[in-house]
Structure 1
C-alpha cells in the first residue's frame, strides 16, 4: 500500500503513546511537593500535551519562577519512573513500518523535551522508523508547534505542504498544522476531546489507530 502523504508527522503523547498515567502521576507528585492542591481530573488531563511550564502557569496560576520549580519536581519523578508508565497504542508499531514501506518519511513534532522523546522512542523500538525528530527545548516552557512542523519537514528533506500531514490529539497540534499550512488528522483516541479539536479547526478524525491506518494507507 502506498502512503497518501510524502511526510507524516506525529505528536507523541496521546498519538503514538498512551502516556497519561506517567505524566499525571508526576504532575500530582510535583504539586504535592509544591504544597499546591491537585486540580480536578478534567483540568489535570490538560497537562498532557503542552509544555509543562506553560501548563503550570495556565492551570495553577503559578509565576514563571514557581512553574520552573514545579517542572523540576515533575521531572524528578517522571525521569525516574513516570516515563515507564507508558505504552504504545496497539497497532502503532505496525502502522509505522507500513508507512515506511509505503514510501512515507516519518517525523515527530512533540512538546516533550527532545532527550525524553528519544529515550521513550528508543525504549519502544520505534526510533529507527523516523527520519526527523522535532521536539521542545529543554526548559519545559518554549515550544512552537508550527516551528516544529517546519523543522520536521526540513529534516525529512522538504515537500510540498499538500504532501504533508500532522497527526495529534490536542488543539495545539491542530493550530500548529493550520499555521504551517499542512493537513491535519485528529487522533481522537488520544487525550483531547472532539469538541476541543473541532473548535480549533479539526475536521478529520481517527477514533482508533485502525481508522488512522485507513486514512494514511488507503487501499
Structure 2
C-alpha cells in the first residue's frame, strides 16, 4: 500500500539512534584514557560520552585542556582506524528497515551526526543504508571545524537542498539533548528515541518521544488511505 510522510525530509542522528557502537567506544575510551592517565568510564557512564563530539567530551568529562583533548581525540581516532570503523557496531532493531521504507516512500533522508563523516559513511556502507540516503553528513576529522549539532543540521539541510530535496518540513530523529537543541536552532522539530544513551529529561523540547521503532514508524510514515 502506498505510503506518505508528514515530513518532506528526514535527518538521522547515528550513534544511539541508528547504530549501537557502544562496545567499541567503551574499549577505545578505556585505552585512550588510561594512556593519558585518566580513569576510564564504566558502561553506565557512556551516557556522558555517546552523542556529543569527542573533543568536547574529553574536556567536559575528564577536565582536559583543549590541547589535551585534541591529542586524546587523535589517539582515539587512530585506535578506531586500526579497529575498523564498523567493528562491533550493530543496528538497533528495525531501524535499518525503517530507513529503507522511508526512502522507498520517496522521502529524502540524510545523516546528521557529530561522529566524523568518514566513520558515518563507513557505517552506512557496512549496513547497506547508503543507497537510501540522499546525503551522508558528519563532523570534520578534527571534530572542531564542523561538529556542533546545529552546524551539522545546517550542513545536512544544505546538502539535501543542493540535491534538489524539499526541506520545507524537515524532522530530525535523535537520542540526546544535543539533537533537540541543535534542531531548535534551525526550527527543525525532533523525534526523540529512548533506546539510545540518554537521561529521561533529555527529551524535553522534542516534538515527540518514542520507545520503539513501531512508534517511530507511525510518526514518519502513514498509509495513503489514512490521509
> Given the two structures, how large is their TM-score scaled by the length of structure 2?
0.89
Which blocks of at least 5 consecutive residues in structure 1 are unaligned?
A: none
What per-residue deviation string (whole Å, max 9, x for no partner) do you get for residues 159-216 of structure 1? 354x110011111100011111011100111111222222xx2241111122111111
Output the CA distance in 2 between the equivalents of 1:79 and 1:45. Answer: 23
- The separation in 2 between residues aligned to 1:17 and 1:44, in whole angstroms, is 15
C-alpha distance in 1, partners of 2:83/2:202? 30
Measure how far apart 1:40 and its partner are.
4.8
- Give 1:25's match in structure 2, choosing from 24, 27, 32: 27
Aligned partner of 1:14 in structure 2 is 16
- In structure 2, the residue matched to 1:189 is 195
- Are the equivalent residues in 1 in contact too, given 2:9–2:167 (CA < 8 A)? no
Instruction: State the SS of the aligned residue for 1:154.
Output: helix
Who is 1:152 aligned against? 156
Q: Which residue of 1 aligns with 2:222?
A: 218
TM-score, scaled relative to structure 1: 0.92
Cα contact 1:107–1:134 (8 A) shared by 2: yes
For 2:84 and 2:66, locate their aligned partners in 1 and report how far apart those are by CA, in whole Å.
24
After the TM superposition, which parts of structure 1 deviate over 3 Å for at least 4 consecutive aligned residues?
39-44, 158-161
2:54 corresponding residue in structure 1:
52
**Residues 2-33 of structure 1: CA deviation (Å, up to 9, x unaligned):** 12211000001011101111112111110011
Which residue number in structure 1 is paired with residue 93 of structure 2?
90
Gaps of 5+ in 2: none
Query: For the residues of structure 1 that align with 2:34 and 2:129, how far apart are their CA atoms?
Result: 34
CA contact (8 A) 2:189 2:207 kept: no
Query: Does residue 4 of structure 1 match 2:6?
Result: yes
Larger helix share, 1 or 2? 1
